[in-house]
Structure 1
Amino acid sequence: MKKKSRFLLGLLITMIISVLLAGCSSDTKTASGKTQKDNKTITVNVAINGKIGPLLIAKEKGWLEEEFKTVNAEVAWSEFPSGPPLLESLASNRVDISALGDGALIAGLDKKLPFEVIAQSGTGESLSRILVQADGDIQKVEDLKGKTVGVASGTTAHVYLIKALKAHGLSTDDVKLINLQPDDAQAAFETKQLDAWVVWNPYRILNIKKGIAKELEVNATILAPSALITRTEFGKEHPEIVEAYLRVSLKAAQWQNENPDEAAKIFSEHTKLPVDVVKTIITSEKPDLFFTEEGIQAQQESIETLAKVGYIKSEFTFEDHINDSYIDNAFKK
């Protein structure tokens, strides 16, 4: 009888210990101290916006995959030609982390789409320009009145056009706007279906080097800061993953700045553009990550301008949409 009691007691103790051990192993601490249940690997939908940028460097080097392992996550990559289609995917929870130009960024915030601004990526001063036919008769911005102008609606180039026209006493009502994504606009410009085309690099510099386009001089300094973003709910659930993304973003930006020749080769392979063209693009402005007063003010001025012309419903305060806790935690001493 005593042996049976001892056996049952031992069995009970063994069961209790097994339950306790299972409970301990089901909660796994991540690098930032956040607990993930059942050691489940999180798939992060990371979107590359455009053809050239530090995020592509990170992808080529495998840095994001490497960093994400420390927070029990993996990458699912996607690519978009511009911000507006990317926003559509974000709204349907198919993008968790990415970057946006100021046009799509402001439009998305105005529509109250579920994302937060987590970092800044340069001032964008050298980003977009107005191209016209090299052999055409358009010599200045004022000559655009009544002309056919191609631009991807809702992008940073669209915002640039609105500001450039305003600086010369015009508005988008004074031109014939055609909404075209860059690759479609390229074909239309080459066949002279467009009198002018507002676009960013690499299209801008490539068409000038090909001799088919020239830039119009604008009497204003127009900044167009890009921003890194995260889907709001994703950031709340996985702040450690957002912080890991920011660490890799800075690493990639610094590597690009310090190794322009190698970076240009990587981008050249991806875009099929000449290496010298790519190098000119990436050295025209060095990417960064940290918010600046200049960048924030430029975004606010864009919001006010776009509200006045009816592009967005109403003005709002850009700083209200910045969540700098991620960048603070990612780089705290």
Structure 2
Amino acid sequence: MKQFTSLSRVPQAALAALILGAVLLPSSSSPAQADQPLPSINLPIEGWTVVALKKGFLQEEYNKLGTKVNLVDPGTTQLIGAESALLDRGGLAIAQRMIYPATVHKANGIDASIVWLSTKSSEYRTPVLALKSSGLNSIADLKDKNFGSSRVACGWTSPTEIFTAAGLPLDNARERGQVRYTNISNTVATSAALLSGRIDATSTHVALPDVAALIETDEVKVIGRSPADGVYVNNAGRVAYFVMREFVDAHPQAIVAFLRAREKTDAWINANVDEAAAIIAKETRIPVAIARFGITDPSSFQYMQGEPSSQVAVDAIKTFQKWYIDHGDDILSSRHLSDDTIESFVDKRFFKGGEYSVYQD
């Protein structure tokens, strides 16, 4: 069966409306029998998925199910959080975010399950950045300055811990802190705000193409990092793949196919970095040097090992949820997940020892 890539880009206003609808409307999912026919599946365009399609790893797995693969732009670079709307409306079968925003989506009413989690994050992934020419050299220099990032993302979770550790808390919905905070839900707009001086510093994934370009051109510098033993690195900064519960119950083998293809592709990319970077550059329209940076830099997040233990996943959510609530998280304070909900949020069938696990016992 022929495979093809479909690139779908949605206007920002439409994405915002979709997200609002995804949050406000209750889920109508109901139990379904496993392994229902699946003629096609929409997967997110990522560095590894474009390589997997080009090299045939996705086709190898999905041809066994008679399923055609479409790669779809999840819209996250246009509007952070867009993937939740696409997931809820059926435009995307599997979404990828860090575990904190995935948990916020769950708290906002998305009936989704985590089917894969990465091992712990890194202090290099989401540092605090300032312009090289700014004169700002440490977190202490940001007192009463303007910090901007995406609220429901690592651009908030990582710096919240960094600033708290430095005794300079960010503004939050409850009280004024010692650093002004602006929510900017677009990675390109965040970079533009930093370059134009509208904000003094930001925090985001260094491996994202627009941010990697600022690093490679020596326009920004790191002035603070997440504690290596902290809540972000060990818990909130883990990568998660999550799926609507109705879909995963109906098509568990489609999830297994995705996870198997990911493992094969990740191994191939690590062994063939230059060829992989060339494929990613061509398919996602970024410079080869930036594609290579996204693979090899310590901040990389798309090519991590999986966390086999479902208990570690459950404990990670419980740990970071409590920590952020204790430190002014207005979202999870009002809509936090119960222990029972967290237990069911992590679909143990896809972790080690589970019925659909890709991990060897």
Normalised by the length of structure 2, the TM-score is 0.73
Match of 2:161 in 1: 163
Match of 2:325 in 1: 307
CA–CA separation in structure 2 for the residues paired with 1:199 and 1:79:
20
Q: Are positions 1:93 and 2:112 aligned together?
A: no
Letter in 1 for 2:62: F
CA–CA separation in structure 2 for the residues paired with 1:319 and 1:256:
33
Q: Which of these residues, 289, 304, 315, is aligned with residue 306 of structure 2? A: 289
Q: Which of these residues, 256, 261, 269, is aligned with residue 248 of structure 1? A: 261
Shift of 1:272: 4.7
Q: Out of 281-290 and 227-236, give the one that drifted further.
A: 281-290
Shift of 1:277: 4.3
Q: Out of 293-302 and 228-237, give the one that drifted further.
A: 293-302
The gaps in structure 1 that reach 5 residues or longer are 1-32
Q: Which of these residues, 182, 186, 203, is aligned with residue 181 of structure 1? A: 186
- Are the counterparts in 1 of residues 126 and 226 from structure 2 also a CA contact under 8 Å? no
User: For residues 1-333 of structure 1, what are the structure 2 equivalents within 5 Å?
Assistant: 36=36, 41-48=38-45, 53-82=47-76, 84-125=81-122, 126-173=124-171, 174=177, 175-200=180-205, 201-202=207-208, 203-218=210-225, 220-221=227-228, 222-223=232-233, 224-283=237-296, 284=298, 286-292=303-309, 297-308=315-326, 309=328, 310-312=330-332, 313-314=335-336, 316-317=338-339, 318-327=342-351, 328=354, 329-331=356-358
* SS across alignment from 2:224: coil
CA–CA separation in structure 2 for the residues paired with 1:176 and 1:169:
15
Letter in 1 for 2:304: P
CA–CA separation in structure 2 for the residues paired with 1:306 and 1:256:
35
Query: Is the alpha carbon distance of 1:225 and 1:261 closer, same or farther for their aligned partners in structure 2, counting shifts above 3 Å?
Result: same
Shift of 1:121: 2.7
- Are the counterparts in 2 of residues 115 and 229 from structure 1 also a CA contact under 8 Å? yes
Shift of 1:88: 1.7
* SS across alignment from 2:81: helix
Q: Out of 270-279 and 52-61, give the one that drifted further.
A: 270-279
- Are the counterparts in 1 of residues 98 and 238 from structure 2 also a CA contact under 8 Å? yes
CA–CA separation in structure 1 for the residues paired with 2:201 and 2:149:
9
Shift of 1:254: 1.7
Query: Is the alpha carbon distance of 1:315 and 1:139 closer, same or farther for their aligned partners in structure 2, counting shifts above 3 Å?
Result: farther
Shift of 1:168: 1.5
- Are the counterparts in 2 of residues 247 and 330 from structure 1 also a CA contact under 8 Å? no
- In the TM superposition, what whole-angstrom CA distance separates every residue of 1:7-60 from its partner, at most 9, and x where no partner exists? xxxxxxxxxxxxxxxxxxxxxxxxxx9665xxx553222223xxx542332233
In angstroms, what is the RMSD of aligned CA positions?
2.7
- In the TM superposition, what whole-angstrom CA distance separates every residue of 1:142-184 from its partner, at most 9, and x where no partner exists? 2223222221231122211222222212322132314141112
Task: Find the structure with the greater CA-based Rg.
Answer: 1
- In the TM superposition, what whole-angstrom CA distance separates every residue of 1:258-287 from its partner, at most 9, and x where no partner exists? 222222222233455444444343232551
